[in-house]
Structure 1
Amino acid sequence: MDRQEIFELVRKYNRGRCTPEEEALLETWYVNKTELYHTELSEPEIESALQEVYASLPNPVKKMRLWTRIAVAAAAVAAIVFGVWFYTNEIASALKTHRNDVAYKNDIAPGKSTAILTLANGKSFSLSEAKAGVIVGEDKLTYNDNTPVVNERPLLNSQDDGKNTEMKLSTPRGGTYQITLSDGTKVWLNSATSLTYTMARNSKGERRVKLEGEAYFEVARDKRHPFIVSSNKQEVKVLGTHFNISSYTDDPNAKTTLLEGSVDVNGQILEPNQLAVNHNGKINVWPADIESAMAWKRDEFSFNDEELGSIMKKIARWYDVEVYYEDPQMASAKFWGTISRFKNISDVLRMLEKTNKVQFKLEGRRIMVTK
């Protein structure tokens, strides 16, 4: 049987609609082990999977024939395999993980719109959590709905020499915010990110910003005045385009993903749907996974053959937690899947646990990763 046939049979079984012949097919699949599951289950594992699915069925009978027990185990195995993709479906719902809720008794809510704006005079203030973004005007700051933030001349005067017009927008762990610069460029900041911006162009006529963390840019086109993003060990030069840069200090790679237009990354020209990976100053260009790169802006976690170490860094930044590993080698395990970033942390961790590759224990703002 191929994957789709197994999927359909397991779904029918969980609805109680399998014929004896179809149940026999599941038995055959389990005995011969298809390409979906290559490891022989031990007797305790079979019994555990059997009892988990059996307990979830409505009005289960007290006695089961041997071939039915095998079919149930097969259904459990198939559901575990499909659970790797984390999608909410009837197979996943039939395999609810009955973990001890104590592991998540102190749940953590997702991040929110929050940021701190620091002006050139050193004055800092928190931006409204009820707003999603701020607009930099030539002489004022407003939120996206045009309500005022601050109005301090000449700090926001574009005719200044540039020394007193610098401002810094910073999001904490668990925060995002959006800023529209005075030239019309829009920037979305992911969590634990800062963007330093000077309104006045430099002596070369360049529009320059400094980035630490991750941000998505929609740069206003201006052929006479290039837009340059300076981040860890690289400069990205553009005229007008859409791209994403991930350049966290705890990540050895700075990643630039181009959606449209063109950019120059340390002399390497990117075309749309390309990814530049900067490792210690060396640039490698690969086809970009746009869905995964832009998932955070869609308020999602999206993993495509991604290592657990990378995944947990994203989770740590968004939920403001610390992550520890029982065995450091576990960080190299790879996962696939998509889930909303608006979920509590327990929902995200439980989804990962359904792969049976990893377990978590949440204590305060500390996550322990175990096998």
Structure 2
Amino acid sequence: MTKEELSQLASKVAEGKASMAELARYNAACEAFQKEEIGWPGMEKELVKMEVASLKQFWAEQPDRGGATVKLWPRIAIAAAAVAAIVFGIWFYNSGPEILKDPGSGPGQDNVAKHDIAPGKNTATLTLPGGKTITLSDAKNGVVVGEDLRYNDNTAVISNNSAELAKGSVPGSLEMTLNTPRGGTYQITLSDGTKVWLNAASKLTYTAVAYQTGQRRVKLDGEAYFEVAKDKVHPFIIESAGQKIEVLGTHFNVNSYSDEPVTETTLLEGSVKISSSGPQKNSSLRGGERRQNVILKPNQKAVLKGEKIKIGNADTEAIVAWKNGYFKFNEESIQDVMRKLSRWYNIDVVYAHDLPQGKFTGRISRFKKISEVLALMEFGTSVKFKIEGRRVTVIGEK
């Protein structure tokens, strides 16, 4: 097969017009090249580029081919994984007009393959009113606070629950703290029925007897998704870094990690009132920014930086992806991506050389081992990774 004939065949595959026989012929040509039975100068690079273009349609067409399968060329297995991402929602990297590269098997991939780190899991500690801290079962995924303390499958967390909850506490306070480590996540249902999903490296402090002050009040450090039980009399108050959120009953996400440049509150349902913690200032700001009080509508987010709050439209799927079991990135830098990975995989990240300026877009399951995530990030980019224990080195261009 000549280069021109292969190019024409690849175009038919890319357009979804190739028959099963043509698909088989196309793959046979790729395999023949791999065995060095055919070839021309630069063919490997051209094949990889054409394969990347054609596999997008190839994967998309597979469900409609009556269950028939065609063996993919092994040489471009990594390319297949990366391009299948366009269909299955994994990764896409945009670094300019020339983004397709030979996947190869460089030193970064060797290090990713030899070492691995498991994803995070359900794990947390709960500090009781008397100061006692207990480790919650990693075989469960949530805890329910009521007259006693139970997992969400109705099994007891500790024996003699009521006595433990009241022991050593200040009457009327019953303050408890749920704390997830890096690499951990957990759910909690509060006594009013409010449900909270806590992301990794986060802390939620809750006063169990909430109605005595006329308010339901919690404090958050980190990230959490709230489904607040409706109550028209008792507002639900969340205090987080630099802001206060007031709701009556709604669904929203708060990201207030100390290592993030801003605090973000994203509304999915209902409405919320957000107040910055800074002093009242009457000056108006350009660009849609406001001070002190803002009201969010569904699919909007409030971004707090310093004392300034800016309202914008939100990609709610990306915001709550962590709660639903995957990462979703939208034009995010390598530093943004690695901060999220570091919390979930409990890794320390260091950087070597100059980092790529491209942005990552796409999604991937949070239950994959880190080698799978990093291998996909390496494909088509200049960045490489090295894993040593729980430290990941991001290697850019020298």
Question: In which range does the TM-score fall when normalised by the shorter chain?
Answer: 0.7 to 0.9
Partner of 2:172: 162
Give the counterpart letter for 1:366 in structure 2: R
Give the counterpart letter for 2:188 in structure 1: I
Give 2:105's match in structure 1, choosing from 79, 98, 104: 98
Partner of 2:318: 292
Give the counterpart letter for 1:285 in structure 2: I
Residues 68 and 59 from structure 1, CA distance in 2 versus in 1: closer, same or farther, beyond 3 angstroms?
A: closer
Instruction: Name the CA distance, whole Å, in 2 between partners of 1:75 and 1:11.
Output: 14
- Higher relative contact order (Cα pairs below 8 Å, separated by 6+ residues): 2
Task: State the TM-score, normalized to the length of structure 1.
Answer: 0.78
**In the alignment, is residue 276 of structure 1 matched against residue 302 of structure 2?**
yes
Partner of 1:217: 226
Instruction: Name the CA distance, whole Å, in 2 between partners of 1:185 and 1:118.
Output: 19
Give 1:9's match in structure 2, choosing from 4, 11, 14: 14
Partner of 1:38: none
Partner of 1:314: 340
Secondary structure at 1:309 match in 2: helix
Give the counterpart letter for 2:105 in structure 1: H
Give 2:372's match in structure 1, choosing from 347, 350, 355: 347
Give 1:246's match in structure 2, choosing from 227, 235, 255: 255
**In the alignment, is residue 193 of structure 1 matched against residue 202 of structure 2?**
yes
Give 1:141's match in structure 2, choosing from 139, 145, 149: 149
Instruction: Name the CA distance, whole Å, in 2 between partners of 1:148 and 1:61.
Output: 65
Instruction: Name the CA distance, whole Å, in 2 between partners of 1:292 and 1:86.
Output: 16
Instruction: Name the CA distance, whole Å, in 1 between partners of 2:110 and 2:42.
Output: 36
Q: Structure 1 residue 183: deviation in Å?
A: 0.2
Q: Structure 1 residue 358: deviation in Å?
A: 1.3
Partner of 1:51: none
Q: Structure 1 residue 281: deviation in Å?
A: 2.1
Instruction: Name the CA distance, whole Å, in 2 between partners of 1:72 and 1:201.
Output: 65
- Say which is worse superposed, 352-361 or 233-242, in terms of deviation: 352-361
Q: Structure 1 residue 362: deviation in Å?
A: 0.6
- Say which is worse superposed, 69-78 or 297-306, in terms of deviation: 69-78
Partner of 1:35: none
Q: Structure 1 residue 220: deviation in Å?
A: 0.3
Instruction: Name the CA distance, whole Å, in 1 between partners of 2:207 and 2:324.
Output: 28
Instruction: Name the CA distance, whole Å, in 1 between partners of 2:12 and 2:319.
Output: 29
Contact 1:361 1:369 (C-alpha < 8 Å) held by counterparts: yes
Contact 1:309 1:332 (C-alpha < 8 Å) held by counterparts: no
Q: Structure 1 residue 121: deviation in Å?
A: 1.3
Residues 324 and 69 from structure 1, CA distance in 2 versus in 1: closer, same or farther, beyond 3 angstroms?
A: closer
Give the counterpart letter for 2:179 in structure 1: S
Give the counterpart letter for 1:342 in structure 2: F
Instruction: Name the CA distance, whole Å, in 1 between partners of 2:324 and 2:334.
Output: 21
Give the counterpart letter for 1:64 in structure 2: G
**In the alignment, is residue 63 of structure 1 matched against residue 70 of structure 2?**
no
Q: Structure 1 residue 59: deviation in Å?
A: 6.0
Q: Structure 1 residue 86: deviation in Å?
A: 3.8
Residues 357 and 188 from structure 1, CA distance in 2 versus in 1: closer, same or farther, beyond 3 angstroms?
A: same
Contact 2:385 2:393 (C-alpha < 8 Å) held by counterparts: yes
Task: State the TM-score, normalized to the length of structure 2.
Answer: 0.73
Q: Structure 1 residue 160: deviation in Å?
A: 7.2
Residues 160 and 191 from structure 1, CA distance in 2 versus in 1: closer, same or farther, beyond 3 angstroms?
A: same
Residues 198 and 331 from structure 1, CA distance in 2 versus in 1: closer, same or farther, beyond 3 angstroms?
A: farther
Partner of 1:231: 240
- Report the aligned-residue RMSD: 3.4
Q: Structure 1 residue 64: deviation in Å?
A: 2.1
Instruction: Name the CA distance, whole Å, in 1 between partners of 2:130 and 2:32.
Output: 65
**In the alignment, is residue 337 of structure 1 matched against residue 362 of structure 2?**
yes
For residues 230-283 of structure 1, the C-alpha deviation after alignment (integer angstroms, 9 at most, x for no partner) is 000011110000000011011121111100000011121000000111111211
Instruction: Name the CA distance, whole Å, in 2 between partners of 1:346 and 1:11.
Output: 32
User: 5+ unaligned residues in a row in structure 1: which ranges?
Assistant: 23-53
Instruction: Name the CA distance, whole Å, in 2 between partners of 1:60 and 1:135.
Output: 61
Contact 2:103 2:380 (C-alpha < 8 Å) held by counterparts: no
For residues 301-356 of structure 1, the C-alpha deviation after alignment (integer angstroms, 9 at most, x for no partner) is 111111111110110000100001114x6275311111101000000111111132
Give the counterpart letter for 1:147 in structure 2: T
Contact 2:211 2:234 (C-alpha < 8 Å) held by counterparts: no
Partner of 2:350: 324
Give the counterpart letter for 1:186 in structure 2: K
Give the fraction of aligned pairs with identical amino acids, expressed as a percent: 47
- Say which is worse superposed, 211-220 or 95-104, in terms of deviation: 95-104
Partner of 1:363: 388
Partner of 1:37: none
| Count of matched residue pairs | 328
Instruction: Name the CA distance, whole Å, in 1 between partners of 2:314 and 2:256.
Output: 16
Residues 58 and 181 from structure 1, CA distance in 2 versus in 1: closer, same or farther, beyond 3 angstroms?
A: farther
User: 5+ unaligned residues in a row in structure 2: which ranges?
Assistant: 1-9, 56-78, 92-100, 276-292
Instruction: Name the CA distance, whole Å, in 2 between partners of 1:345 and 1:136.
Output: 34
Instruction: Name the CA distance, whole Å, in 1 between partners of 2:83 and 2:329.
Output: 11
Give 1:207's match in structure 2, choosing from 216, 227, 250: 216
Contact 2:356 2:382 (C-alpha < 8 Å) held by counterparts: no
